[in-house]
Amino acid sequence: MQKPKRKDAAPSAAVKVRDGAAVRPRPRPRRPHALYTPAEVEEIFRRFAVQRPEPKGELEHVNAFTLLVAVVLSAQATDAGVNKATQALFKAADTPQKMVALGEEAVGEMIRTIGLWRAKAKNVIALSQALLRDHGGAVPDDREALVKLPGVGRKTANVVLNMAFGQPTMAVDTHIFRIGNRLGLAPGKTPEQVEAGLVRIIPQKYMRHAHHWLILHGRYVCKARKPECPRCVIADICKAAEKTTDIPAPLVEIAPVPDAVAEDVG
Ligand code: SF4
């Protein structure tokens, strides 16, 4: 038979008393169990680094400002499509001053081939004005300031911080979101969760290029509909349920893919 508890018995160690009432501690949020050991993560990125020692984003730009504009234009558009439109645009305006002088109508005309061009032309002018007004015409190198600019979200800010300022950020696009979840490298329901998971596990020395490696791996090998596992250099390490082979593809340096065949789904 269970002993009745004494009324004055002290609460168990896990229970705290606040204002005379017992308060049970909230369970601590648990980190998801890591599927990959640090050595495996290191090896994945070592191989990506061998494949593409200096990966480049495929959006053409000539300075931090034109990069920012190109990334804003690339939402729901292909990099190749954006590059076609920005060739003339950046010749005419490669600074916020010149962009404002060009005006919304002319910008709209030049980017008509890109989806959502009206809203994007408006944002490009508004963000150029904001750069002139608040930052002396320069692109700020901190996320908080970047996300205040019209048309700039966390992902765009992360791309700019990474590519223009060399900061170890992780801009989670559709490819990185898929890879984080499919491989179980950084599972998450939102891009922010995947971003946090990847930033936590990727060794610092690989963070500068990790964003590009993952995008390119997702775009050309670990594709959305059907991953091309026999062409994958990490097939032996990958723990994705969908993988079709354990034999990794030969590890060789890959030549950059020309824009004409670059494909993105943003
Ligand atoms: S083995 Fe297949 S599923 Fe795993 S990363 Fe490579 S392509 Fe993707």
Boundary residue ending a domain (137, 165, 193):
165
Which ligand 1 atom lies nearest to the CA of residue 239? 4
107-132 burial, b at 16+ Cβ within 10 Å, e below that, comes to bbebbeebeebeebbebbbebbebbb
Do 161 and 173 lie in one domain? The reply is no
Is there a domain that residue 264 lies in?
Answer: no
Is there a domain that residue 247 lies in?
Answer: yes
Confidence (pLDDT) at 12:
46
To test the pocket of ligand 1, the residue of 48, 183, 239, 244 to mutate (highest count of ligand atoms within 8 Å of its CB) is: 183
Confidence (pLDDT) at 30:
53
Answer whether 17's CB lies under 8 Å from 11's CB. Answer: yes
Angle at which helix 191-201 crosses helix 207-220, to 10 degrees, equals 120
Nearest CA to ligand 1 atom 2: 229
Neighbours of 71 (CB within 10 A): 26
Catalytic residue flag (residue 264): no
Is there a domain that residue 46 lies in?
Answer: yes
Distance CA 90, CA 132 (A): 17
Confidence (pLDDT) at 3:
44
Please pick, among 98, 122, 142, 155, the residue that the annotation labels catalytic: 155
Q: What percent of the chain has pLDDT over 70?
A: 84
Confidence (pLDDT) at 9:
43
Report the chain's C-alpha Rg in angstroms.
24
Q: Which residues of the chain have pLDDT under 50?
A: 1-13, 259-266
Confidence (pLDDT) at 208:
87
Catalytic residue flag (residue 243): no
Q: Which residues line ligand 1 (CB under 6 A)?
A: 182-183, 221-222, 227-229, 232, 234-235, 238, 240, 242-243
Boundary residue ending a domain (165, 194, 218):
165
Do 132 and 161 lie in one domain? The reply is yes
pTM: 0.75
In terms of Cα–Cα distance, which of 143, 265, 262 is closest to 192?
143
Do 132 and 225 lie in one domain? The reply is no
To test the pocket of ligand 1, the residue of 232, 233, 245 to mutate (highest count of ligand atoms within 8 Å of its CB) is: 232
Is there a domain that residue 251 lies in?
Answer: yes
Confidence (pLDDT) at 33:
65
Domain that holds residue 184: 38-55+169-255
How do residues 228-247 score in pLDDT, each as one tens digit? 999 999 999 999 999 999 99
